[in-house]
Homo-oligomer: A and B are copies of this chain.
C-alpha cells in the first residue's frame, strides 16, 4: 500500500488524496520571476486543493552562468538572485491553515552542462561574509558547469555524484513582510533541506489569504550544510501536488516522508535553528501522538535525527526528525 494514503496530507487534507486538475506553470506563464516572497506580488495561478502543478523552475542564477568563464560578480546582482515561481493561490487557504506540498517528480530541463556550482566572493560556509564580516581577502571566484541527468551528476573525471534532486526554496507568504528568496524563516524560504525531494510532503503555515505559494531553487544534489554556499543548481521541471489542511496551527515548516516526520527551524546561531526544530518536534509529539512532553524530550535524545540544511544563508536551517514507526500507539 502506498504510504501516502496514511500521510497527514491525505488523511487531513481537504482533497483527501484525490488528484484534481493539472496546471502548467511554464516560464512564459510565470513571466516575471520573484526575488522576494511576500504579499505584494500578483498571483500567476489559482488552484484548488488537490490540484497538480508542473512548474518550470529556473536555476538559482537564472541561467546567467552559462560557461565556466562566467563569474558570479560579473553576471549576478544582489538582491536579484534565486528566482521564484509563483505566487500560486490555493483557494480557501486562510491564516491558521496549512498548505501541503507533495513533490511528485523533478526532472532536469535544458541542455547540458545543465548544472552550475560556483564560489561567490563573500558567500559560503568557510569564508568571511556580509554578516560574519572580516578583513581577510575573499576566496577565489570560480564557476563550475556540470553535466547531469536522471542517472547522475558528472562532477569531474574522477567523481560522479548521484542525482538526488530536491527543492531548495519553498515558501508561503508572510503576513505583511516580504522576505528575499535567499533567506529561510518560519514561512519556509531558502531552507536547502535535502529531504525536500520527490516523495516528500512539506507543510507550510498559511499567513496570508490564499497562502501565496512560491517555489524555486532546484538542486540536483546537495551535501548537508551546502558548505560552499551553492548546490548543483539547475533548471527543473518539478511536479507538485498541493492540498490544504484547515485549522492546523503550526509555527514552522514540517516535512513528511515515508519514513520520518521532521520539523524545520531557521535561525542564527545554528544552535537556535536546532532548538527550534527540536522544540517543534517535541510539541508535535505531545500534541498529536500522545507522548508526555518530557518523555518525548528524553526519547528524542536517544533517537532524534538531525539534518543540517544549510549554514550559509542569512539564516541557517536544521531539520529535526523522528522515524514514524516510533510514533505508533
Contacts and interface: CB of A to CB of B under 8 A. Distances in A.
Contacts of A178: 36, 38, 40, 176-178
Contact of A303 (B223, B293, B316, B326): B223
B175 A295 contact: no
Nearest to A185: B314
A302 B176 contact: no
A306 interface: yes
Contacts of A140: 294
A329 interface: yes
Interface in A119-140: 119, 124-128, 130-140
Contact of A128 (B128, B130, B294, B305): B128
B137 A136 contact: yes
A270 interface: yes
Contacts of A176: 35-36, 79, 178, 180
- Which bracket fits the contact residues of A? 35 or more
B126 A297 contact: yes
A264 interface: no
Give the residue among A38, A224, A295, A320 with the most B Cβ atoms within 10 A.
Answer: A224
Given A117-B298, A177-B79, A304 B267 contact: no
A50 interface: no
A35 to B, nearest CB: 6
A301 interface: yes
Given A79-B177, A268-B267, A231 B302 contact: yes
A47 B303 CA distance: 36
Nearest to A283: B135
Contact of A302 (B132, B222, B251): B222
Interface of A: 35-36, 38, 40, 79, 117-119, 124-128, 130-140, 142, 144, 153, 155-156, 158-159, 161, 174-180, 221-232, 251, 265, 267-272, 274-276, 278-280, 282, 293-295, 297-306, 308, 311, 316, 320, 326, 328-329
